[in-house]
Structure 1
Amino acid sequence: MNAVILAISTDSIFSHKMFMEISPSGRKINFPMLSDRTHEVSKSYGVLDEAGGYAYRATFIIDPEGNIQAFSVNPQPVGRNIDEILRILAGLQYTEKTGMGAPSGWVPGNPGIPTGWEYVGKY
């Protein structure tokens, strides 16, 4: 989808290496896994639980200019929904290409809706 994926966690690079070698799901990862042992990244994005020393499960979609376009933060026991992340990314790309909005429940292939204050409440 013309996007760069980075996995960043407070785990060590050695933990990442073991995960990618041992875990069946880890062996499927084909994008960089970065270690944030200093907690600098997780603090900067506001997702660090300082008392626990770990980062919440968070997803950030950042545009080429460095602006956060979307983000979600999940509690520790709840995993991410990759289908929703991909839908959001597709919706942002659709909006950039067409100028139309991607309404609730929108999926690629569906029509968009006009954006702007004059359309609020009409769709």
Structure 2
Amino acid sequence: MTEAATAPTIGWDDFQRVELRVGRVLSARTFPEARKPAYVLEVDFGPEIGVRRSSAQITDLYTPESLVGRLVVAVVNFPPRQIGPLMSQCLVTGFHDAQGRVALCVPDADVPPGTRLL
């Protein structure tokens, strides 16, 4: 059985509560204090939300230099979460490939930072 087949059904109102927004990575650096290899990302979500920081375990497929300027999709309405010395302010989304590496979830066209997924 697949993971999707075991997930409970949700309603439209449930989905609407998850605020998925597009942001542009302003900076990325290694996060040596993390338990698993990770980067600290600073992501600009536009004037309404601003810049937020996130810890992202995406070191297998990306370098810090390759991330700067990229668009990402993140959940911006989770409560902040302490990850070592970092207060993570959003959750950058991605998918695991067959080897368990995380590939970012990204829009396939240029959209303004802060655009909400609907």
Bin for the TM-score computed over the shorter chain: under 0.3
Higher relative contact order (Cα pairs below 8 Å, separated by 6+ residues): 2
TM-score (norm 1): 0.23
Structure number having the greater helix percentage: 1
TM-score (norm 2): 0.23
